[in-house]
């Protein structure tokens, strides 16, 4: 694949763990375990092909409303895999970052997240941005509160200043958002940032998602014309003809 055509930032809504397990007569947590195992390969490939940022939707703010047993399994798995991957992040140069509402997280995972972010902050490889306890609307509300606390005036409210107040400050918007499991919705993922993202939906359940399918999604992305509201000729594409304007 040509390096220049690789999306700088890929977001993945990793959905379908529960159905993967239910289809096999297994408890839902088995699906979450398998789902966590898939992450490693996808991080590795993304890093190898030159993706700059990989954002993984691991746990939404609405997911707190699931049965408490399932919530504690998911949070436990996140904690365990963070501890387990720490040395690999250092070896691979991965910079780890969490977006989402930390106030709702238990203390132990919060401190593991903070330590991992701190220790990996000067790494120069892939930025792995994990959305945990994340909701796009919640993120926007927290940004507005920050703006008010910083006494920003109405004129100070711009696309740039809002972007800087979001959890994703300093990170380019996602070029490509992939959702597994056949659902075709954002479920509150990166609402502000996805304004001009390309979407790739697949029926594959997250525990079955492979690097081949990631490459397939990127290939499809490379065929798209991203016009950003302009006409093709302004983007240097070879399809625009005369215009009435």
Q: What are the phi and psi torsion angles at 166 (to 5°)?
A: -80, 165
Answer yes or no: are the C-beta atoms of 129 and 168 closer than 8 Å.
yes
Identify which of residues 7 and 18 has a Cβ nearer to ligand IPE in the complex. 18
Shortest Å distance, C-beta 21 to ligand IPE: 8
Residues that bind ligand IPE (CB under 6 A): 13-19, 57-60, 63, 74, 181, 183, 185, 187
Q: Decide if residue 15 touches Mg ion (CB under 5 A).
A: yes
Q: Decide if residue 12 touches Mg ion (CB under 5 A).
A: no
Q: Where in the sequence numbering do the catalytic residues fall?
A: 15, 63
Is residue 176 marked as binding?
Answer: no
Q: Which of 97, 105, 54 is nearest to 76 (CA)?
A: 105
Is residue 24 marked as binding?
Answer: no
Answer yes or no: are the C-beta atoms of 59 and 134 closer than 8 Å.
yes
Identify which of residues 46 and 165 has a Cβ nearer to ligand IPE in the complex. 46
Q: Which of 207, 170, 211, 215 is nearest to 29 (CA)?
A: 207
241 CB burial (10 A radius; 0-12, 13-18, 19+): exposed
Query: Would you list which residues are annotated within the binding site for substrate?
Result: 16-20, 28, 32, 60-62, 64, 66, 179, 185-187
Query: Would you list which residues are annotated within the binding site for Mg(2+)?
Result: 15, 198
Query: Would you list which residues are annotated within the binding site?
Result: 15-20, 28, 32, 60-62, 64, 66, 179, 185-187, 198
């Amino acid at each position: 694949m040509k390096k220049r055509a690789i999306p700088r930032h890929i977001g993945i809504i990793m959905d379908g763990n529960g159905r993967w397990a239910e289809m096999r007569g297994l408890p839902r947590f088995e699906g979450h375990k398998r789902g966590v195992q898939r992450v490693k390969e996808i991080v590795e490939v993304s890093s190898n092909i030159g993706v700059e940022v990989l954002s993984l939707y691991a746990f939404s703010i609405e997911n707190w409303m699931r049965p408490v047993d399932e919530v504690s399994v998911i949070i436990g798995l996140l904690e365990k895999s963070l501890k387990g991957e720490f040395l690999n992040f250092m070896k691979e140069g991965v910079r780890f970052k969490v977006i989402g509402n930390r106030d709702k997280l238990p203390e132990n995972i919060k401190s593991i997240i903070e330590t991992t972010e701190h220790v990996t902050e000067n790494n120069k490889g892939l930025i792995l941005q994990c959305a945990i306890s994340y909701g796009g609307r919640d993120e926007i509300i927290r940004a507005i509160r920050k703006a008010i606390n910083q006494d920003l005036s109405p004129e100070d409210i711009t696309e740039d200043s809002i972007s800087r107040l979001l959890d994703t400050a300093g990170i380019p918007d996602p070029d490509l958002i992939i959702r597994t499991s056949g659902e075709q919705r954002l479920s509150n993922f990166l609402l502000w940032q996805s304004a001009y993202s390309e979407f790739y939906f697949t029926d594959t359940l997250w525990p079955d998602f492979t690097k081949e399918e990631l490459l397939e999604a990127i290939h499809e992305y490379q065929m798209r014309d991203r016009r950003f509201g302009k006409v093709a000729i302004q983007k240097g594409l070879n399809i625009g003809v005369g215009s009435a304007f």
